[in-house]
Each structure stands twice: as C-alpha cells, then as structure tokens.
Structure 1
Amino acid sequence: MTHTTAPVRRPVRQLLAASVGNAVEWYDWYAYTFLATYIAAQVFPGGTGNSLVPLLSTFAVFAVGFFMRPVGGLLMGAVADRHGRRAALTVTILLMGGSSLLVGLTPTYAAAGTLAPVVLVAARLLQGLSVGGEFAASTTFLVESATPGRRGLFSSFQYVSTTAGQLTASGLAALLVGTLGETSMNGWGWRVPFLLGALLSLVGFWIRRGAHETLATATPDATASYPDTVTVPDTVTLPDTVTVPDTTATLPEAAPHPTGTREHPAPDRPGLFDALRQYPRQSLLIGGITAGGTLAYYTWTSYLPTYAELNAGVPKSDALLAGTLALAFFGLLQPVGGVLSDRWGRRPLLLFFGLGFAVLSVPLLRSVGSFWSLLAAQCAGMVLLTGFTAISAAVNAEIFPARVRAAGIGFPYSLTVALFGGTAPYAGTLFTDLGQPGLFPWYVAALCLVSSAVYARLPETAHRPLDH
C-alpha cells in the first residue's frame, strides 16, 4: 500500500491557504536580510579599522541559517510524506513565528556581550529549520492541489507568495528607514518587523489548519466498498439441524496485526532517507537544476540593494526603494511564467533563465551606478529569473513519486540553496572586502551556465500526468 495524492475539490481555496501561509513564513525570513546593516551595528562588535567586519558577521549568520535548511527539508519533508502536507505546514509556521520573536528580542552586544550573537545564531538556526521544511511541504502541497494542465500556474504561486512576504519585509524596512531615522532604527526600529512577524505567523497557522490534505493514505475504511442500502428479508428460514465443528481441532495462533490485515495492509510509511537511497539520480538532478537559480535569485532579490550600496555608492534608502519596486514587478511576472510553461513546457523557460543570466549577469551588475540604473538592472534580471522561479516547484515535484516527494525535494534542494544561495550575500561582500568586486558577477554567470547544461538534458515533464 502506498501514499497517493487526494483529489482536491476547491483548488483555488488551497492556493490561497498555501500562499497566505507561505507569505508570512518568508516575510519573517527576509526581514533579516533587509535589516542586516542595523543588526550588524547592534549585535556584533565593530572590527578594528574595518567597518565591514560586523556586516560580514551578520551575513555569516545569514548563511548559518541556510545550512539548517537541509535538516529542515529532510525532517519536515519526512513529516509531510508520513503524516500529510498540512501537518508539516502547520509545524513550520509555528517554528518561524517563535524564531522571529527571538530575533526581535535579541539583546544588543553593548548590553549582553557575546550572549547577543549567540541568541541571534540560535534564532537563525530555527528559522533555517522552518524554511527548509516549508519549501518541501508547500511545493508538494501546491502542485498536488493543481487541476490538470495547471501545475505550472499553481507552481508559480510558490514565488508569488514568497515575493509577497519579501515585498512586505522590504517595504516595511524602507518605510521605517525613511521615517524613523538612524538613531531610532539602531535603537528599536529594527526590532519592529520581527515582532510583527511573530504575530502574523499565528494568522498563517490559523489559515493553514483549514486547508484540505492532498496526501491520502489508503486505509481499510477508505478502500472498502459498501452498498448504499441493505435489504433484509422479512423471514429467515433456519435449518432443522446445525452441525457443530469439532472443538478439539487446533487453530493456528493469530499473528498480531495492529495496523492492517492481509486484505488491507498497513500504509507504507517511507523512511527518513528513502528518497536519497531509492532515487539518487533525481536527488542530484535537483541540485543541478537549483544551483544557478538560487544564486541568481538571492543575488537579485536580496543582496542587490547591499551590493549597490557597497560598490556604487547608492544611498541606502534609494537601494531599498528600488528593490521594493523590482520585487513588485517580479511577483506579477510569476503567473505569466507558470502559464507559459504549461503551454510550451518547462525546459524552454529554464534555458531562457540560465543562458540569459550566463550572458547578461556581468553587464547588468556593472551597469549599477544610480537609483534608475539599479532599478533597470534589477527589473531586467527579474524577467530572466522568472524562467526559473515560476516553475521550480512544478519541475521538482514532477521528478519524485508522491510517497517520497516532500523529503525527496526538501533535502537536495535546501542543501543546494545553502551552498550557493545562502552564501551569495557573504560571497559578494567578501569580494568587495578583498578589493575584487568585479569577480562576483562572473561567479553568478558561471554557475548559471553550469545549470543551463543540466536544463538542456532535462526530460520534458509538463504534459505528463503527475506520478503518484
């Protein structure tokens, strides 16, 4: 007996439930990125003669959170495969709410000394655990909720909702920076988004509890067929004699079977590492698909405002505003990419992304020098990036069967994101610190070229039925 995906009667409601919860989850995660410079000033000691040391420390903690994501993807993916997608989604959002509250209450280095970065690291580890599980569970939930021929469209809402959360975090950060000023932001203003995120997580938890489970585990009650009515005869004729069997016969001892019978065996619950053992090629394939995409994504959506500030002298408020406008544009593009992939296939869009970034990453990043050039470069990159983000959930889900789909996606995807996406801000800042900022665009282009080679050999899965 295996797990199968359950038919969904109200797919639009499922879409909204997944999207709202996912937006809240990612709002909490990205608030850290947009407020990194303020966190650096308050939580880490300044470096002697080098103002980038606190910022590097903050981005190092950012990367540490990413390295908990594979653990979250594996553990929460296993929960989703064994107990259902909804169970995993409710756990992840509660974890995120608690960790966001912890960041908001982190003491300053001046008040608590080394305890301050320890608390921040602990909070970021919990956030990484939550986000790793979130992607694994929400990816499978969205794609399994889709109606036929709409998996790409439903997949795109993974990044519509992610962008909504990121946009909210970016917009709130820009609003606070523009209205409170440096003194208030360094004093208490940077804490506000995290405390708000803890409250929003409770809202997301309430919404997700009402979602329909997409993973149906077959049971005797579910598989047995019963007639609607039972006809009972008016009279019952009994035989004149009844033959009683010999009571001295020895009956075989019944074996204990607490969870099933021979006719209705117990559900097959996958082990923690079943996906890696049984599908090693698919696991490696997800890593190749994701490497270039995650580096480009975190560079363009998270790190670019800091990159423009450090390397082109763009004012902090202008950089955050440009990032906010570009994110709004990016969110609107996602359903378009999903619909195009349902019609034309996944591979053409992936190649559009990969080859586009391989050719244009260097000139786009070198063109950044003012607010308008930053906005133009960021929007151009968003168009290319949509070829990956709009369909990554569908591509990943179409690789694995339902039985191990969440854990199969969660671990290799999150590990790749940790290696290449989570280190993007740190790598970019480190190149600048070493006096070689021009190397970072070449790094982005090279990795996108590697992923393009994977896309070129990827089988087309857009028009195949979802493997159960």
Structure 2
Amino acid sequence: MVAIMTVTPHPGAPPTQRPVRQLFAASVGNAVEWYDWYAYTFLATYIAGAVFPKGADNSLVPLLSTFAVFAVGFFMRPVGGLLMGAIADRHGRRSALTVTILLMGGSSLLVGLTPTYAAVGVLSPVVLVLARLLQGLSVGGEFAASTTFLVESARPGRRGLFSSFQYVSTTAGQLLASGIATLLVDTLDEGRMDGWGWRVPFVLGAVLSLVGFWIRRGARETRSEEQRRAPRPGLVEGVRRHPRESLLICGITMGGTIAYYTWTSYLPTYAALNAGVDTSDALLAGTISLAFFGLLQPLGGLLSDRFGRRPLLLFFGLGFALSSVPLLHALRDSFAVLLLVQCAGMVLLTGFTSISAAVNAEVFPARVRAAGIGFPYSLTVAAFGGTAPYVGTLFKELGHAGAFPWYVAALCLGSSLVYLRLPETAHGELRR
C-alpha cells in the first residue's frame, strides 16, 4: 500500500502562477455545475406535473418518470468520470473543464425548454431523460477534471486548502439553486409556477454556464510539458494498470459518500418520516446546516496541510462510525434538536469532504490521474451515495427504520480501516 501512495517530485510541472485565478476558475464552474444539478431536485414536483401528468394513459410515462428521477443521473456519473477524465488526461484539464460546463449548460437549457406532455405526448419525458443523462455525464466528469485541476494548481503545502473548495463551490451551487427555487415559489402563483416559472432556473443555469466557460478559458493548464509530449493514455488505462489504486479510491469514498448524502440531502426527509419533524422546519434546518458546512471546508483543508490527511480522515470515519446511531436516534419533533444533529454531522463530515480531492489526487500518477479518480469515485458514489435515500426508505417500509443508522456506521467503519493503512501524503510532492 505504501508503494501506491509514494509521491515523487514533479519537476516538469508548470509554474504555479495565478493560483487565485486557478481556484476561481475551478470553483465558479463547479458551483454552476451543481446549481444545475440541484435545481432539478428542488423543482422535481413542478417538472413532474408538466412532463409526467397524473392519469396519463401511455404506460411508458410512469416508467420513464421513475427512470428519469431516480436512476438516470447517477447511472451516467461513472461514465462521465471515465470519459471526461480521459479527455483531461489526453487533452488537458482545462479542455475537460470547458467541455463539462458547456455540456451542463446545454443539458440545463434542454430541461428548461422541454415541451409539456400535453403538447408532444411521450416525447416530453424522452427529452427530459436525455437532458438528465447529459447532466449526469457532466457532473461525473466535472469531479474528475476539477479535482485534478484544483490540486495540481495549488502551491506546495496548500493542496488541502485548494481541495476544500471542491465542496465550498458544490455547497454554494446547492444553496443558490435552493434560494432561487424558493424565491420563485414565494413570488409566483401556482398557475405561473406550473406553466413557466419552473423553467426559469434552468435557462438561468445555461447563461451561468457560459459565464463559467469564459472564466475557465482563461485558466492555466496544469499538465506539464513532459506530460503533453508523452503518449496519450488509453480510455481505461487507469483502472487496468492501477487496479489497487482504483479499489483504494472506492474504499476512501464509500463511507464519505453515504455520510454526505445522508446529512446533506436525505436527513430532512429521514427526520420527517421517523421523528415527525415538520417538513418546513426540516428544510430550514438543512439550509442553515449546509451554509455552516460550506464555511467549515477551508478550515479542514488548512488543518490537513499542517497536520496531515490521515488524522482528518480518521476523525471523520471513526466519528461517524461511533456517532451515526446515537445522532440519528436522538432525532425528535424539535427544530433545535434536528439543527444540532445536522451541524454535529457536518463537523465530522468536513474531515472527509474538505480533503477528498487532495487525497484522491495523491493516489494516482499524473498521466491517468483524472480518469483514474473519476471512474471509481463516481461508481462508488452511485452505489452508496445515490442509493442512500432509497435504502433508508426501504428500511422504513420493512419496519426496520432503526437499521439505517447502523448501515451508515458500518460503511464509515469500513472506510476507517482503509484510512488506518494510508501513508501520509500531505507534505510530499504529487506523483508524476
């Protein structure tokens, strides 16, 4: 395992000039990507009313509805991680970043312009499914490219800090989507919201994508001249030549993704289903804790640059393994209790999210770094993070709602065993 993580100097790397511009290019684009992704989640009810009407006679409609809402995006993320990661490794990180943001902008516009079922029939959900496929492809590729770009842009001793902006920008995009959706719902009456209001955030997302594209075009490529001259890697070379590193990414990510999606997305629903918390209170607590979470990320990155990656990972993994059950069982019909539980989880979760980009980038050599990270990471997110709400709901339906916290704890414990064996890489150079 030590051999996997050994880092060597990278004398051929480009000079780390304009680090703030590099950070801004990656963060703004990533925020726009996740704004588009989460806008769909917040407005799914209105989309369903226009695209999947109740009582539709065509039997394909409910099938396509289920596929679009619950499967398509996460299904395409591993594919996006592999394809866009390969573009980043073959043609440069900046090239991949411009492709992903244009792809997300186009798919967002496609959602906004999706015709209603009343106008074109079953073609309506087909268009929406296509848009969601493209969004999943873009988001999967975004993590692979932006993770690599962020960490390679950092000055020595600042990879953890730069890494933390992966989730700062992700959280900013999620909060922006939530805020705009809330503003529209509060401003427009039901008829206008059902008719055209739900389309506005997606058209806006397409415009923001063009802004992000312009910013990213001015960023500096982080591949060295030596890497540009080297033969281009194959599409699956990262997995084929580095299977142990690929499995290591899965182990590192497994606990982090189940904790992230449980605490940032599913917890309001879990609290409403199992503790009787009012839905509006649950959403408000979620928004406040999410903002708190975003502010914590740079602190976690700075701590890892000073004290190392492994202490923070173990703080997260063992912390969740020991506290998931008592925290989730402590939930009751109380806004204050829910907010405390969410914020406590966010503090622990920061030990993973603030440095996951740096840890992942330090696993793979530069030649296959983006695709090597993108595919196993996105596959693990799809398997454990994307299924978190459905596993929790399934346990509830089977009459074993109390088993879900143990499921979260077990996955975090499994990742903790991986963290225990990781050598420290915070103070070395990235592998060539």
Please indicate, yes or no, whether the TM-score normalized by the shorter chain is above 0.5. Answer: yes
Deviations 1:99-123 (A, max 9, x none): 1112223344455443333222211
Answer yes or no: is 1:120 the counterpart of 2:83: no
Matched AA of 2:183: L
Q: 1:452 aligns with which of 416, 420, 425?
A: 416
Q: 1:418 aligns with which of 373, 376, 382?
A: 382
Hey, what does 2:240 align to over in structure 1? 277
Residues 3, 217 of structure 1: 8 Å contact kept: no
Q: 1:96 aligns with which of 104, 107, 113?
A: 104
Answer yes or no: is 1:348 the counterpart of 2:356: no
Answer yes or no: is 1:374 the counterpart of 2:332: no
Residues 45, 109 of structure 1: 8 Å contact kept: yes
Hey, what does 1:157 align to over in structure 2? 165
Hey, what does 1:259 align to over in structure 2? none
Displacement after TM superposition at 1:148 (Å): 0.7
Hey, what does 1:8 align to over in structure 2? 16
Residues 94, 201 of structure 1: 8 Å contact kept: yes
Alignment of 1:5-404 (within 5 A): 5-44=13-52, 46=54, 61-180=69-188, 182=190, 184-218=192-226, 267-366=230-329, 367-404=331-368
Alignment of 1:417-436 (within 5 A): 417-436=381-400
Deviations 1:146-197 (A, max 9, x none): 1111110110011111111111112223333344465544443333222211
Mapped partners of 1:415, 1:267: distance in 2: 28
Mapped partners of 2:194, 2:400: distance in 1: 30
Residues 26, 146 of structure 2: 8 Å contact kept: yes
Mapped partners of 2:123, 2:64: distance in 1: 18
Quick one: structure 1 residues 326 and 47, their matched pair in 2 at CA, closer, same or farther if it must change by over 3 Å? farther
Task: Give RMSD over aligned pairs.
Answer: 2.6
Mapped partners of 1:59, 1:378: distance in 2: 30
Hey, what does 2:4 align to over in structure 1? none
Displacement after TM superposition at 1:4 (Å): 4.9
Residues 300, 351 of structure 2: 8 Å contact kept: yes
Quick one: structure 1 residues 349 and 46, their matched pair in 2 at CA, closer, same or farther if it must change by over 3 Å? farther
Mapped partners of 2:255, 2:108: distance in 1: 29
Residues 305, 319 of structure 1: 8 Å contact kept: yes
Q: Which moved more, 1:167-176 or 1:81-90?
A: 167-176
Deviations 1:317-340 (A, max 9, x none): 333322221111011000000011
Quick one: structure 1 residues 463 and 79, their matched pair in 2 at CA, closer, same or farther if it must change by over 3 Å? same
Quick one: structure 1 residues 340 and 120, their matched pair in 2 at CA, closer, same or farther if it must change by over 3 Å? same
Displacement after TM superposition at 1:399 (Å): 0.6
| SS of equivalent residue, structure 2 residue 425 | coil
Mapped partners of 2:284, 2:200: distance in 1: 19
Residues 18, 138 of structure 1: 8 Å contact kept: yes
Residues 68, 129 of structure 2: 8 Å contact kept: no
Q: Which moved more, 1:56-65 or 1:290-299?
A: 56-65
Residues 254, 384 of structure 2: 8 Å contact kept: yes
| SS of equivalent residue, structure 2 residue 224 | strand
| SS of equivalent residue, structure 1 residue 5 | coil
Mapped partners of 1:291, 1:426: distance in 2: 16
Mapped partners of 1:438, 1:39: distance in 2: 33
Residues 177, 317 of structure 1: 8 Å contact kept: no
Matched AA of 1:417: V
| Structure 1 unaligned blocks of 5 or more | 223-265
| SS of equivalent residue, structure 1 residue 212 | coil
Matched AA of 2:263: W
Mapped partners of 1:55, 1:340: distance in 2: 48
Matched AA of 1:22: N
Structure with the largest fraction of helix:
2
Matched AA of 2:95: A
Paired positions, count: 418
Quick one: structure 1 residues 28 and 82, their matched pair in 2 at CA, closer, same or farther if it must change by over 3 Å? same
Mapped partners of 2:416, 2:103: distance in 1: 35
| Structure 2 unaligned blocks of 5 or more | 1-9
Residues 105, 207 of structure 2: 8 Å contact kept: yes
Displacement after TM superposition at 1:365 (Å): 2.6
Mapped partners of 1:115, 1:310: distance in 2: 35
Deviations 1:257-305 (A, max 9, x none): xxxxxxxxx5321111111121110000000100111111112112223
Deviations 1:345-393 (A, max 9, x none): 1111111111111222233233153333322221111101100000000
Matched AA of 2:317: G
Mapped partners of 1:61, 1:370: distance in 2: 30
* TM norm structure 2: 0.89
| SS of equivalent residue, structure 2 residue 232 | coil
Mapped partners of 1:176, 1:361: distance in 2: 35
Q: What is the percentage of aligned positions where both structures have the same residue?
A: 80
Displacement after TM superposition at 1:41 (Å): 4.4
Mapped partners of 1:364, 1:54: distance in 2: 37
Rg comparison, structure with higher value: 1
Mapped partners of 2:410, 2:63: distance in 1: 26
